Each structure stands twice: as C-alpha cells, then as structure tokens.
Amino acid sequence: MPGSPTANGVTVCQDGVRRCSWACSTPDYHGYHDREWGFPVSADTRLFEKLSLEGFQAGLSWLTILRKRDAFREAFAGFDYARVARFSSRDVERLLANADIVRHRGKIEAVINNAKRAVARWPRGFVSLGLNRRTSRNKTLSTSASLTSSGVRSKNLKIRLTPAKRPSHWS
C-alpha cells in the first residue's frame, strides 16, 4: 500500500517504488534518492558541489536547494573548484544579484574561500580524502548510518585537514 512505512523506515511511494519515507513526500526527491543519496562520489566537482550545497542548505530545507541546484551549477561554473577559486569580488556581486540561487554573502564567500583552499592544499584533487565512502545505503535501503565508521572517518579527516599547529580546543 503506497505511503505505508515498514518497520525499517522504507515506504512504498505513490509511484509504487520502495524508498526511505522522506523521499516519498514529493516527486522532487525521487531522482535524488534513487540515484544520488547514499551513493559514493568519485569526481572532485561532484564532491565540491555536495559540500558547497550542504553549506547553502544551512537554515533551509534540502528541497529548496535541490530545486535550485541547476542554477547553482550554472552560477558556480559547474562546481569546478579550480574555476571557482578564481572568482573575484565582481563574481560575488554577480552571485548576490542572481535570484535563482540562495543569495547569502557569507555562504557565497565561503564556497569561493573553500575552492581557493582546496586548490592550494590539493591541486590534484581531494576525492581521495575518503569523503565519498558509502555508509548508510544498501540494497534494503537501510536508514541507519554506521556512526562508528562515520565518526572514525570524521576524526581522520579532521586530522588530515588541520595544520600541525591547531587550536587547543580541537581535541
């Protein structure tokens, strides 16, 4: 029966496809859930896009960001972080005038700053840092992430991204 969640959080959506219950709330989520959510990312531009859009999502719904994603891709040079790293203050103003994206100066400048830092730190790419490992998706659409595995990767990444001299509050 469509819309009835099972014990493990999987729901049969209106189109008859089994998905996590959140993905049944609107057809806009279907493609994202079926082809992207929980799948590893193997391209730097896709990973930079995911990280950037997560930043833009802060305080907003993910659905808002998904609906604006094509405009974000166009505005941010396809999330080619080497190109974004060369954005200037003129580009910031251009982006602030673009009604098709989230116009938040701090978030826009953060994406550009992150691109500059990525180019400086990993000129050959950063997918190899291990951010793209699959943790929460399998053939049964499990909704529970492996917190232990995720926590270990998070701590490892924190160590790898942090300069040798780091603040004492970063234990």
pLDDT tier, 39 (very low <50, low <70, confident <90, very high otherwise):
confident
Percent of the chain scoring above 90 in pLDDT: 58
Its pTM stands at 0.73
Task: Look up residue 10 and give its DSSP letter.
Answer: E
* Residue of 22, 29, 36, 54 marked active site: 54
- Averaged pLDDT for residues 93-99: 98
Higher pLDDT, 129 or 116: 116
What kind and span of H or E run contains 45? helix 44-57
* Residue of 37, 62, 109, 122 marked active site: 62
* Residue of 22, 32, 37, 122 marked active site: 32
Helix pair angle (89-96, 105-121), 10° resolution: 140
CB-neighbour burial class of residue 2 (10 A; exposed 0-12, middle 13-18, buried 19+): exposed
List the structure tokens of 125: 């790419």
74 catalytic residue (yes or no): no
Taking CA 151 as the corner, what is the angle to CA 149 and CA 152, rounded to the nearest 5 degrees? 65
CB-neighbour burial class of residue 22 (10 A; exposed 0-12, middle 13-18, buried 19+): middle
User: Residue 135's pLDDT is what?
Assistant: 47
User: Residue 7's pLDDT is what?
Assistant: 60
Structural domains in the chain plus CATH codes: 10-40+133-161 (no CATH), 44-127 (1.10.340.30)
pLDDT tier, 143 (very low <50, low <70, confident <90, very high otherwise):
very low
Higher pLDDT, 80 or 7: 80
103-122 per-residue burial string, b: 16 or more CB within 10 A, e: under 16: ebeebbeebbebbbebbeee
29 catalytic residue (yes or no): no
